[in-house]
Amino acid sequence: MSSYDNVRHKGKSAEEHHKSTLARIDQIQTQFKAPGSGKLKGKVCIITGVGSLKGIGRATSIGFAREGATHLYLLDYDGTNLPNLKETIQSQYPSVKVTTVQADAADEKAISGLCEQALREEGRLDVFFANAGWASRDTLHNTTAEIFMEAMRINALSVFLAVKHASSAMLQTNSSRGKDRTGGSIILTASTAGIRSGAGTVDYSASKAAVNSIAKTSAYQLQKTDIRINTICPGLIETGMTGATFEYARQRGTEGKIGQLNPLGRFGVAEEIANAALFLASDDSSYVNGQNIAVDGGLSASHPVVPGRWA
Ligand SMILES: NC(=O)c1ccc[n+]([C@@H]2O[C@H](COP(=O)([O-])OP(=O)(O)OC[C@H]3O[C@@H](n4cnc5c(N)ncnc54)[C@H](O)[C@@H]3O)[C@@H](O)[C@H]2O)c1
């Protein structure tokens, strides 16, 4: 036995760990439903990529409503689940106004139009969570130039447009609506794939690295405006995007192995990313700017965790 083995926590058996993972996730999801404390009171927010039933965008929309946002503008290019999301929010949080929009997050007219609509109807825009994203599946030699450009269009161009038009709207002041100073929070969903390799295809990872870069450069350009721009870099989260991987593992009885490569040794759920978005949207993060924040169980901070081995 090496001396390193003495300092590494031995942990539970794989079966016990899987059981405790499921219990922990259940606890996190239950806590997420607890009453809010009004952290987003008075804020007008736009969120993209809200259409997937298990997605980060939907969980965040519900979290923002729980925290008392004034008006949520919710966009997805797939309209199927938008009525259900609107009804879910309005039945639980009737004082929150909800507007759903079926549009492409990478369509400049749609994004500038939505920011203008918020200004017209509410006189202010406080938060833009640019979360819509798409993951390709092809290996390097099967990735066409068209797929590469599509990943850049959906993941990086959409975020650029959000930053450009949301920041213009956030520069508008309106004392009659309680906005005496410029400011706002723009949150972008990147990925651990945008930090290092091994978490996505070449085109997806490049597009998410672009997202991380856009946050830093835009924060610099928007200096002294009190507009903050940060990214969230999720690790492996069970959503519509990763659903097939989870389903396959469950069918094979290997669900307990999912997410083993990070120090927490488990996958995450959409509510855990929504909690990070809530922090960044609220004034609790008033001095957090230009950051790429990994919410990944420690994956990007560590060499791969190999259960039972250290080298
Ligand atoms: N799930 C993960 O493990 C993971 C990890 C890292 C990053 N992410 C990122 O998180 C974000 C949310 O993804 P998710 O995991 O909730 O996946 P999801 O597939 O469940 O949700 C993504 C949503 O974005 C919508 N969308 C896709 N392209 C769009 C477009 N051009 N315009 C408007 N809407 C569009 C989809 O219709 C869908 O509703 C994405 O940016 C994704 O890249 C996810």
Instruction: Examine the pLDDT at 3 and tell me if it is beyond 60.
Output: no
Confidence (pLDDT) at 10: 66
Higher pLDDT, 253 or 79: 79
Instruction: Examine the pLDDT at 11 and tell me if it is beyond 90.
Output: no
> Which region holds residue 146: left if phi is over 0, alpha if psi is between -120 and 50, else beta?
alpha
231 lines ligand 1 (CB under 6 A): no
Read off the pLDDT band of 255 (50, 70, 90). Answer: confident
Q: What percent of the chain has pLDDT over 90?
A: 87
> pLDDT, tens digit, for every residue of 167-197?
999 999 999 999 999 999 999 999 999 999 9
Read off the pLDDT band of 294 (50, 70, 90). Answer: very high
Give the mutation target among 241, 258, 261, 296 for probing the ligand 1 site: most ligand atoms within 8 A of CB. 241
160 lines ligand 1 (CB under 6 A): no
> pLDDT, tens digit, for every residue of 130-140?
999 999 999 99
Instruction: Taking residues 280-289, report their average pLDDT.
Output: 98
Instruction: Examine the pLDDT at 5 and tell me if it is beyond 80.
Output: no
* CA-nearest residue, atom 2 of ligand 1: 237
> pLDDT, tens digit, for every residue of 201-238?
999 999 999 999 999 999 999 999 999 999 999 999 99
**Closest atom of ligand 1 relative to the 51 alpha carbon:** 39
* CA-nearest residue, atom 1 of ligand 1: 237
pTM for the model? 0.96
End-to-end CA distance of the chain: 12
Read off the pLDDT band of 311 (50, 70, 90). Answer: very low
77 lines ligand 1 (CB under 6 A): yes
**Closest atom of ligand 1 relative to the 153 alpha carbon:** 31
Instruction: Examine the pLDDT at 102 and tell me if it is beyond 50.
Output: yes
Instruction: Examine the pLDDT at 1 and tell me if it is beyond 70.
Output: no
55 lines ligand 1 (CB under 6 A): yes
What rounded mean pLDDT belongs to the chain?
94
Q: What percent of the chain has pLDDT over 70?
A: 95
Confidence (pLDDT) at 160: 98
Backbone angles phi, psi at 16, to 5 degrees: -65, -40
Confidence (pLDDT) at 44: 98
240 lines ligand 1 (CB under 6 A): yes
**Closest atom of ligand 1 relative to the 53 alpha carbon:** 20
Structure tokens at 9: 């926590």
Instruction: Examine the pLDDT at 57 and tell me if it is beyond 80.
Output: yes
239 lines ligand 1 (CB under 6 A): yes
* CA-nearest residue, atom 25 of ligand 1: 49
Can you tell me whether residue 82 is helix, strand or coil? helix
Instruction: Taking residues 17-34, report their average pLDDT.
Output: 95
Distance from the alpha carbon of residue 113 to the mean position of ligand 1, in angstroms: 22
201 lines ligand 1 (CB under 6 A): no
**Closest atom of ligand 1 relative to the 158 alpha carbon:** 31
Q: Which of 46-55, 150-159, 253-262, 293-302 has the lowest mean pLDDT?
A: 253-262
Read off the pLDDT band of 13 (50, 70, 90). Answer: confident
Read off the pLDDT band of 58 (50, 70, 90). Answer: very high
Backbone angles phi, psi at 75, to 5 degrees: -120, 140
Domains, the chain, ordered by start: 12-297 (3.40.50.720)
Structure tokens at 101: 């929009």
Read off the pLDDT band of 46 (50, 70, 90). Answer: very high
Instruction: Examine the pLDDT at 4 and tell me if it is beyond 70.
Output: no
Q: What are the angstrom distances between the C-alpha of 40 and each of 63, 77, 227?
A: 10, 26, 16
Catalytic residue numbers read: 204
Q: What are the angstrom distances between the C-alpha of 232 and each of 11, 189, 307?
A: 29, 5, 27
191 lines ligand 1 (CB under 6 A): yes
Cα(276)–Cα(239) distance, rounded to whole angstroms? 16
